[in-house]
């Protein structure tokens, strides 16, 4: 791929009473694996089904039921690992994480503590202005999601929905390489983008299929560099983990709040206690959920119902061969091949569907024009049309490419093209046919334009005098001619002829 060079950004600095502080952030992102069936049962993963309708006997933890790994979920985890340039572990294993909760029917979650399926990888998180952070991935493991407890339907009873129980999650654990709230959000967005390219996670945060735990600590300038050199965590501050956030905004708010809370403690001569905290979105603050001492003892041990997961290198190679072009490579190529700006390339590659749409349009016309029309006209039109996704666009790339092609050929002017765009968008049809049928073709016949110019000059002698005195007023004639020709006259030709006739 074409490498783009980026500069590492400075960490976010917070000024305290005793000097400057830096943030150190590591994240655990839980991404729901995009598959039809759950990790260890054949039950459906469809979102929004009737409560407790997507539940097999296995998910419900019925006596005598046994888990059987869903190969599709394993393939998706491998695919994700490859997309994050990570090491794939041909040997991995499942462990039980034991705790009691009504939405955890087995009394344990099957996870991969000791031997995860994916090892170390990396993600390039672009932050604009040629800056990007390279965040190291420590590991990705597969695990079961829990169900949902509902406590607000009845004053004295709680309800449980097991539809989500047993759905496959990938837990993507980063190193503490993220240095500010915006970087944290950008990191999650980048993971989401890559996984959507790969088709391994829908990344729909509202539906909870992407959630993040954030580990936040603060340190003095220089400490982080000492940590990076030695990988010795003692150079860093004590961290707190903020659990289960499903919005970019909350992630940033929580980090910001938490960093300031920790700084206040430290500057007060107190210390930060390692603990798990929850973000209260209403109050915009984090509060303690449980301390390290109160932390659950999950009694992890290898799940005896499952054999170690052994996969073949050849299978991994097949998956690798089927990977699509990923965002970084695509963006670099768009810049190189189509001459797009970094910004335009970023926007067009944000979703692989937009990128694919753009490339089809560009193939039928011109790269730069295609980018402008997709970014400005089409995106704007889709937004006005009930915020439609590009996949729902009523206009096909071939149609938009056709419109742009007509501009390039000089058959229509930019202004007519906009009218044509609206017609094709709302009514459909082949742009070139519409242009012919509705007489929208641009007039490049200089004879016809000359006649029109003559007419306007003859009818407006006073304006002719003024224009001769002040050539800037020639534009008035151009406008009149365009009006007279219904906008179909080639503006360039009109300009030239008006200038010539007026003797400018």
Partner 1 sequence: MTEFRTIAAARDALRKGDVSATELAEEYIARVEGADALNAFVHKTPEIAREQAAAADARLKAGDAPSLCGIPLGIKDLFCTKGVPSQAASKILTDFRPEYESTVTTKLFADGAVMLGKLNMDEFAMGSSNETSTYGDAVNPWRRGNDETKLTPGGSSGGSASAVSADLCLGATGTDTGGSIRQPAAFTGITGLKPTYGRVSRFGIIAFASSLDQAGPMARDVRDCAIMLSAMAGHDAKDSTSADLAVPDFEAMLDGDIKGKVIGIPREYRMDGMPEEIEALWAEGRKMMEAAGATLRDISLPHTKYALPTYYVIAPAEASSNLARYDGVRFGRRAQLAQGDGITEMYEKTRAEGFGDEVQRRVMIGTYVLSAGFYDAYYNRARKVRTLIKRDFEQAFADGVDAILTPATPSAAFGLGEMAEADPVQMYLNDVFTVTVNLAGLPGIAVPTGQSAQGLPLGLQLIGKPWEEGELLNAAYALEREAGFVEKPAKWW
Q: Which is nearer to partner 1, 79 or 96 (CB)?
A: 96
Residue 303: CB minimum distance to partner 1, A: 8
Sign of CA dihedral 166, 172, 178, 184: negative
Structural tokens at position 25: 């952030």
Residue 128 lies near partner 1 (rule: CB under 8 A): no
By CB under 8 A, which span of 1-9, 76-84, 100-108, 442-450 interacts with partner 1?
Answer: 100-108
Residue 114 lies near partner 1 (rule: CB under 8 A): no
Residue 116: CB minimum distance to partner 1, A: 19
Q: Which of 66, 323, 336, 504 binds partner 1 (CB under 8 A)?
A: 66
138 neighbors 118 (Cβ within 8 angstroms): no
Q: State the DSSP H helix or E strand holding residue 343, giving kind and residue range, or none if neither.
A: helix 342-349
Q: Which of 188, 263, 196, 234 is nearest to 28 (CA)?
A: 188
Q: Can you give the three-state secondary structure of 66-88, one letter per residue? A: CCCCCHHHHHHHHHHHHHCCCCE
Q: Which of 8, 57, 270, 410 binds partner 1 (CB under 8 A)?
A: 57
Q: Which of 19, 102, 429, 475 binds partner 1 (CB under 8 A)?
A: 102
By CB under 8 A, which span of 24-32, 302-310, 342-350, 431-439 interacts with partner 1?
Answer: 302-310
Residue 342 lies near partner 1 (rule: CB under 8 A): no
Residue 293 lies near partner 1 (rule: CB under 8 A): no
Q: Could you give the CA distance from residue 109 to residue 87 in angstroms, rounded to a whole number? A: 25
Residue 211: CB minimum distance to partner 1, A: 23
Residue 304 lies near partner 1 (rule: CB under 8 A): yes
Q: Could you give the CA distance from residue 486 to residue 443 in angstroms, rounded to a whole number? A: 10
User: With contacts defined by CB under 8 A, how many residues of the chain interact with partner 1?
Assistant: 30
Q: Name residue, tokens 């229509």.
A: 412
Residue 307: CB minimum distance to partner 1, A: 6
Q: State the DSSP H helix or E strand holding residue 309, giving kind and residue range, or none if neither.
A: strand 309-310
Q: Which is nearer to partner 1, 18 or 53 (CB)?
A: 53
Strand partners, 243: 278
By CB under 8 A, which span of 62-70, 80-88, 126-134, 277-285 interacts with partner 1?
Answer: 62-70
Residue 306 lies near partner 1 (rule: CB under 8 A): yes
70 neighbors 39 (Cβ within 8 angstroms): yes
Other C-beta atoms lying within 10 Å of the C-beta of residue 486: 11
Q: Which is nearer to partner 1, 37 or 195 (CB)?
A: 37
Q: Which is nearer to partner 1, 158 or 341 (CB)?
A: 158
Residue 292 lies near partner 1 (rule: CB under 8 A): no
Q: Could you give the CA distance from residue 277 to residue 393 in angstroms, rounded to a whole number? A: 43
Strand partners, 218: 23
Cα three-residue angle 336-338-342, rounded to 5 degrees:
65
Q: Could you give the CA distance from residue 477 to residue 493 in angstroms, rounded to a whole number? A: 13
Residue 96 lies near partner 1 (rule: CB under 8 A): yes
Residue 108: CB minimum distance to partner 1, A: 5
Residue 485 lies near partner 1 (rule: CB under 8 A): no
Strand partners, 132: 126
Residue 120 lies near partner 1 (rule: CB under 8 A): no
Residue 92: CB minimum distance to partner 1, A: 14
Residue 38 lies near partner 1 (rule: CB under 8 A): no
By CB under 8 A, which span of 58-66, 210-218, 282-290, 328-336 interacts with partner 1?
Answer: 58-66
Residue 46: CB minimum distance to partner 1, A: 22
Q: Which is nearer to partner 1, 2 or 307 (CB)?
A: 307
Sign of CA dihedral 263, 265, 270, 272: negative
Q: Could you give the CA distance from residue 357 to residue 400 in angstroms, rounded to a whole number? A: 10
Q: State the DSSP H helix or E strand holding residue 108, giving kind and residue range, or none if neither.
A: strand 108-111
Q: Which of 7, 10, 20, 107 binds partner 1 (CB under 8 A)?
A: 107
Determine the 3-state secondary structure of 348 from DSSP: helix
Determine the 3-state secondary structure of 97 from DSSP: strand
Q: Which is nearer to partner 1, 62 or 323 (CB)?
A: 62
Report the site for partner 1 in 155-194 (rule: CB under 8 A). Answer: 158, 160
Report the site for partner 1 in 310-339 (rule: CB under 8 A). Answer: none
Q: Which is nearer to partner 1, 106 or 393 (CB)?
A: 106
- DSSP secondary-structure letter at 325? P
Structural tokens at position 204: 């729909």
Distance between first and last Cα of the chain: 53
CA distances from 7 to 4, 130, 349 (A): 10, 6, 21
Q: Which of 268, 297, 312, 387 binds partner 1 (CB under 8 A)?
A: 297
Give 456: exposed, middle or buried? Use CB within 10 Å, 0-12, 13-18, 19+: buried
By CB under 8 A, which span of 5-13, 130-138, 300-308, 414-422 interacts with partner 1?
Answer: 300-308
Residues that bind partner 1 (CB under 8 A): 57, 60-69, 96, 98, 100-102, 105-108, 158, 160, 297, 299-301, 304-307
């Amino acid at each position: 791929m074409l490498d783009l060079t980026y500069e590492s950004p400075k960490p976010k600095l917070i000024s305290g009473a005793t000097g400057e502080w830096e943030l150190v952030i590591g994240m655990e992102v839980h991404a729901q694996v995009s598959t039809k069936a759950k990790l260890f049962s054949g039950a459906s993963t469809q979102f929004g089904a009737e409560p407790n309708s997507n539940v097999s006997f296995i998910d419900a933890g019925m006596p005598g039921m046994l888990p059987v790994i869903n190969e599709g979920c394993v393939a998706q985890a491998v695919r994700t690992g490859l997309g994050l340039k990570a090491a794939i572990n041909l040997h991995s294993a499942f462990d039980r994480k034991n705790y009691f909760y009504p939405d955890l029917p087995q009394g344990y979650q099957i996870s991969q503590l000791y031997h995860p399926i994916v090892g170390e990888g990396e993600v390039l998180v672009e932050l604009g202005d040629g800056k990007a952070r390279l965040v190291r991935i420590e590991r990705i493991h597969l695990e079961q999601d829990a169900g949902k407890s509902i406590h607000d339907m009845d004053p004295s009873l709680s309800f449980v929905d097991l539809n989500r129980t047993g759905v496959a999650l990938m837990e993507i654990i980063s190193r503490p390489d993220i240095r500010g709230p915006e970087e944290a959000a950008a990191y999650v967005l980048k993971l989401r983008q890559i996984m959507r390219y790969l088709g391994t996670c829908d990344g729909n945060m509202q539906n909870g299929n992407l959630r993040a735990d954030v580990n936040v600590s603060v340190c003095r300038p220089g400490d982080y560099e000492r940590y990076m050199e030695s990988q010795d965590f003692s150079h860093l501050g004590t961290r707190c983990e903020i659990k289960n956030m499903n919005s970019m905004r909350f992630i940033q708010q929580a980090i910001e709040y938490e960093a300031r809370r920790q700084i206040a403690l430290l500057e007060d001569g107190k210390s930060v206690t390692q603990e798990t905290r929850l973000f209260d979105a209403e109050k915009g603050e984090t509060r303690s959920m449980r301390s390290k001492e109160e932390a659950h003892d999950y009694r992890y041990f290898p799940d005896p119902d499952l054999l170690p997961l052994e996969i073949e290198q050849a299978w991994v190679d097949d998956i690798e061969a089927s990977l699509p072009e990923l965002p970084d490579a695509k963006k670099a190529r768009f810049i190189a091949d189509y001459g797009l700006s970094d910004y335009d390339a970023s926007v067009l590659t944000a979703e692989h569907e937009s990128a694919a749409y753009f490339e089809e349009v560009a193939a039928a016309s011109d790269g730069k024009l295609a980018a402008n029309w997709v970014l400005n006209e089409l995106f704007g039109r889709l937004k006005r049309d009930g915020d439609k996704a590009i996949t729902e666009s009523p206009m096909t790339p071939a149609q938009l490419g056709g419109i742009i092609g007509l501009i390039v050929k000089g058959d229509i002017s930019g202004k007519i093209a906009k009218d044509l765009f609206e017609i094709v968008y709302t009514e459909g049809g082949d742009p070139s046919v519409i242009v012919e049928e509705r007489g929208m073709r641009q007039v490049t016949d200089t004879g016809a334009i000359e006649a029109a110019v003559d007419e306007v000059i003859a009818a407006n002698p006073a304006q002719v005098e003024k224009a001769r005195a002040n050539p800037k007023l020639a534009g008035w004639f151009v406008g009149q001619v365009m009006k007279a020709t219904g906008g179909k006259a080639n503006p360039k030709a009109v300009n030239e002829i008006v200038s010539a006739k007026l003797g400018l």
